[in-house]
Amino acid sequence: MTALRTDHVAVVVNTGSRRGADALAEVTARLHEVTGRLDVLSVPAGGDVGGALASAAAEGPDLLVVGGGDGTVGCAAGLVAGSGTVLGVLPLGTANDFARTLQIPFALDAAVSTLTHGKVVDIDLGRVEGWPFLNVASVGLSVGVTQHLSPRLKRRLGPAAYPAAALAAYRHHRPFAARLEFPDGDQQPLEVEDLLQISIGNGRHFGGGNTVSPTASLDDHLLDVHAVVRGRLRDHVSIARLLRTGHLVEHDLVHHVTTQRLRLVTDEPMRVNLDGEVVTTTPAEFTLERNTVHVVVPVHSTAAQWDGAGH
């Protein structure tokens, strides 16, 4: 744990997210009380969230508060990684898996209180060809799920939109083959055919509260890799039942390894989903930056600790 400075605070709120418009006034009023300089940027639906975050981060604030979903928070994390800026999170999206992992409360009042009364920890950041991710990167079924997760569906169903989209994506899924290579030599290469999905987890939760593995952590300096072989429908029902606890890693149709670096080659180029944002394609290299993002979390949070960058 290290002290949280708030001499200069920047706030970027995606008001197009589920609760963004409601959050902006409260967080601005509360933070005015604790800082000498407060920069506030409101990004409407369809606005340039990435541009607003880059502009705010470039000013070098002590604290960058981000209000939005996991994709927005992941973009911010990539911008402040390795800097002295601490990341503050208002979980305003549908899944909020990053906040869930770090035990940041979803209730707005409690989340704002965390910004002023919390502690600072450091976490690992995943990257794919330079693109950042906090929770999980994946290819296969998850890309179809993202395509079916329309804003309308998320507004109507909330977290229940994820299983609904997964069922729709499953009906149109095409199996694929892949080779998993480990440039650091910490695992043997793995070739797998007839795949449903490959997931590379940095954090603990994904998909609205599913668990990467029983031991996954945002500061364990490891990527958890799952390669899920396509089976019968009843096989995937049994896997789905294990998603909440992370014990899917024990299923016969799931190959699970941990590593610090992965190169993924698929039989044909496939799109890569990073925390709900489809941004690149395979072949791709997945890497890990240790202790590179500093985040303010509740004092009671046990999900990560302060080690200091680079340790």
Q: Which residues are catalytic, by number?
A: 277
* Angle at which helices 108-117 and 20-32 cross, to 10°: 30
DSSP 8-class letter at 5: P
3-class secondary structure per residue, 127-172: EECCEEECCEEEEEHHHHHHHHCCHHHHHHHHHHHHHHHHHHHHHC
* Phi, psi dihedrals of residue 79, rounded to the nearest 5°: -75, -35
Contact 297, 100 (CB under 8 A): no
Contact 76, 66 (CB under 8 A): yes
Q: How many helices (H) and strands (E) does the chain have?
A: 9, 17
Nearest one of 213, 215, 224, 275 to 248, comparing CA atoms:
213
